[in-house]
Amino acid sequence: MEEDPTTSQKWIEFRFPFLMVRTKRGLNAMDRLSRFGVFKVAGWVSLILFPILASFTIFILLLSVSAFLVSAPIREVAREIGPAGNLLIPGLNPFLPLLYGWIGIFVGIVVHEGAHGVMARALNIPVKSAGLLLLAIIPVGAFVEVDDKTMEKAPFRNTGRILASGSGSNMVVGFVSLLLMLLVVSSMRPIGVGAPIGQVFDDLPAAEAGIMPGDLILSINDVSTSNQEFLGIELSTHSPGERVIVTVQRRAETLDFTVILAEHPQDPSLAFLGVGSLPVSPDLILDQYQSALSLSPRVMLYLFTLPTGPSNLQLLVPFSDTMHVFYTSSIGELYRPLANLFFWIWFINFNLGIFNALPIFPLDGGQAFRGGLRAAVGSRIGENPVKWITGAVSLGLVLLILSMFIIPYAGILLPS
């Protein structure tokens, strides 16, 4: 391995399963950024927010575990998704796209580690090394090695700010990405007013005519079908075997199809087109998503709904795999990759920020918890009790997290 002649550290080092590539450019960049006074202020803000983020995360964990304990349907959904659905790892989590997930995690780790280094240099604490973290040849993040001995001797007001800066920076980047995503969504418009088609049944009139999932039925025989209800009303005025003209919007095209209506499988006297409409209105979904800045708790939940998640939840996201076909944008087809990119950067950075704030040692939150406890009562109770309390809190939270993986599979022991 090559070594840095000034620090006697290896430039390239393998620590299973990662390859660490050290570079002086990272150190120089952190030194330059640390000269801006805003970072010291940001450190204090991060330190104040740290216990708030930790409390919020613990509340969400308790709420989730409570829901698993009392609700059999929620446990069933968790079983269907599988344990990997709780992991923020592309390739393992079935709903985390490889490309967007990798970009989000790379950005999150670089921002998190870089913030530690910048804050350390701003507070005159040495940074031994910094560089890229590779998995095989794929960059997955960055690392920063702050001098441990200096950190141990530094007062908590300094170490606390260094530890909290990682989560704080993740939250800033996350919310900036969220605003960018909403800006992209604000450029979107429904392709038309009609009944959105989610399913076309094989060997029935619509499929034989060429109507496809994702089409928007605008009219039947020039009678407007502005939503699912009006589509049903219009079909009720026709009889099986009748020939009708169905007008659909397919992205930028308006197409006419000649369809001979079939008998409805549940009532042969009724006409059947052979399609399943989506139970949502594209314009209503878009309006609700665009109104997320109102900070209404009900609307804010939309911002945490995965665009690649379960199909029923995709109906709530206008740029999801299911819904994107019903929209256009003033920025062209770029709107969908951009919206997804900003969503995953937001979502991953938010989760990295709150998870690292948990008082679980050796996470940042756990180290800050032990440092704060030592500063507050360490002189009265001694170092060992501080370590025991930190260990007990860490163990309790680890068990709480593990219960989210275990409880959904303990259905026999829980109420149905």
**CATH number of the domain that residue 217 is part of:** 2.30.42.10
pLDDT tens-digit readout, 43-69: 999 999 999 999 999 999 999 899 888
In a domain? residue 295? no
Joined tokens for residue 94: 């079935």
- Residue 296: partners with Cβ closer than 8 Å, 6 or more residues away: none
pLDDT for position 4: 45
Q: Widest CA span of the chain, in angstroms?
A: 89
Q: Which residues of the chain have pLDDT under 50?
A: 1-8
Report in angstroms the alpha-carbon separations of 330 from 185, 196, 318: 10, 21, 15
Decide if 326 is inside a domain: no
Range of the domain at 272: 195-277
Quick one: 210 and 155 in the same domain?
A: no
Final residue of a structural domain among 227, 245, 277 = 277
Residue at a domain's end among 227, 262, 277 = 277
Same domain, 200 and 178: no
Could you give the CA distance from residue 375 to residue 370 in angstroms, rounded to a whole number? Answer: 9
Q: Is there a contact between 57 and 358 (Cβ–Cβ < 8 Å)?
A: yes
Is 269 in the same domain as 165? no
Tell me, what's the pLDDT at 176? 96
Backbone phi, psi, residue 37, to 5°: -65, -20
Q: Are residues 178 and 40 in the same domain?
A: yes
15 and 162 fall within a common domain: yes
Is 78 among the domain residues? Answer: yes
The amino acid that residue 318 corresponds to is P
Whether residues 172 and 201 share a domain: the answer is no
Q: How many domains does the chain have?
A: 2
How many whole angstroms separate alpha carbon 107 and alpha carbon 401? Answer: 25
| 260 domain residue, yes or no | yes
Residues 176, 249: one domain?
A: no
Terminal Cα-to-Cα distance of the chain (whole angstroms)? 59
Residue 212 falls within a domain, yes or no? yes
Q: What is the pLDDT of residue 1?
A: 40
169/28 same-domain check: yes
Cα separation, 400 vs 69, whole angstroms: 13
The angle subtended at Cα 294 by Cα 292 and Cα 298, nearest 5°, is 60
Specify whether 397 is located in the same domain as 251.
no
In a domain, 302, yes or no: no
My answer on whether 144 and 223 are in the same domain is no
Boundary (domain end) residue, out of 221, 254, 277: 277
Residue 310 lies in a domain: no
Question: How would you class 284 by CB atoms within 10 Å of its CB: exposed for 0-12, middle for 13-18, buried for 19 or more?
Answer: exposed
| 168 and 222 assigned to the same domain | no
Residue 332 lies in a domain: no
Do 175 and 201 belong together in one domain?
Answer: no
* Angstrom distance (rounded) from CA 326 to CA 68: 35
Q: According to the model, what pLDDT value does residue 393 have?
A: 96
